[in-house]
Amino acid sequence: MGSDVIRLGSRGSKLALWQAEHVRTEVTRHTGRKVEITKIKTTGDMILDVPLAKVGGKGLFVKEIEEALLSDRIDLAVHSMKDVPTDLPGGLEIVCITRREDPRDAFLSVKHARLEELPKCAKVGTSSLRRQTQLLSLRPDLEIGQLRGNLDTRIRKMEEGQYDAILLAAAGLRRLGWEGKIRQYLPTDLSIPAIGQGALGIEIRTADARTREAVAFLDDSDTAFAVRAERGFLKRLEGGCQVPIAAHGTIAGGIVTLVGLIGRPDGSEILRGRRSGNLSEAESIGVALAEELLSRGGKKILDEVYRESGQ
């Protein structure tokens, strides 16, 4: 294959391919180099009949793609940062994080315009313990239904009447041009987003200087610092995307502010905290906030969650 061709690995979902096409277009426009997309099926794509929290493990949506990078079958991968574990395989690196799309959770429903308008005991679909925890703390009467599959599958299930409402990341819907389906954006103080939600990460082999140079322009420093703080929080908690934790970083005037959460899946107990500091301290702010929540009872909650899920 010619040295001017960059091989990009992507999951095969509509959203993953949109993200891959977006990066392909930008890289070609910026560097003139050709980018070819290879579809790769991940463990998370193959196991659709089991809730993610029960599958266990980390990197369910990235492992096979990282293996393709390490074996030199592809040169770069585009990931949703919320899917990327904090410990990367040796020889691989997230070299840039793109400008963040809307990080909020979105409320979708055929009949109801807002979360507050859901009738008593309505059924809400989500595959996220993080969303479930925060939702049940507000509305313990609601019934949570496990919702897996690609975005179009999830929306179809709602439209068929299997759920009164569903919760999804606003970013994916907006990227696909489906923001018209969003009835309500949930404020981040009501539903703290997942770590890295709305941000894309570009992963390459550390030694591949040519690809690094080709994608460097995609990095957005504010997003990168915010996500670094969030991932510091995640790393200290040793959590994957299947545990009831959340963190969201924002940048203003050279200061990063991080809000974080640990909760019980039934919403009966939620611990929240907030920390701020200089950009250079982004990761350590995340670690410090995690330590604070662990000491306030978060360790007990997470130990119970892991025990119940057999992780």
Full 3-state SS string of 284-309: HHHHHHHHHHHHHHHHHHHHHHHHHH
In Å, how far from its chain's centre is CA 189? Answer: 18
Average pLDDT of every residue of the chain: 91
Residue 156 has which token pair? 């179809």
pLDDT at res. 54: 47
CA 266 → CA 27, 77, 132, 233, 294, distances in Å? 44, 36, 7, 22, 18
pLDDT classification of 48: cutoffs 50, 70, 90: very low
Mean pLDDT along residues 282-305:
95
pLDDT tens-digit profile of 165-198? 999 999 999 999 999 999 999 999 999 999 999 9
Mean pLDDT along residues 207-235:
97
Q: Spell out the alpha helix ranges (H) of 71-144.
A: 129-138
pLDDT at res. 61: 66
pLDDT tens-digit profile of 53-89? 444 444 566 888 999 999 999 999 999 998 888 889 9
pTM of the predicted structure, to 2 decimals: 0.90
pLDDT tens-digit profile of 133-155? 999 999 999 999 998 888 999 99
**Looking at the predicted structure, is the pLDDT value of residue 158 above 60?**
yes
pLDDT tens-digit profile of 15-26? 999 999 999 999
**Residue 127: DSSP 8-state:** S
Mean pLDDT along residues 89-94:
96
pLDDT classification of 305: cutoffs 50, 70, 90: confident
pLDDT classification of 308: cutoffs 50, 70, 90: confident
Catalytic residue list:
83
CA 185 → CA 25, 59, 168, 181, 284, distances in Å? 29, 28, 10, 11, 30
Contact criterion met (CB below 8 Å) for 278 and 306 = no
pLDDT at res. 45: 53
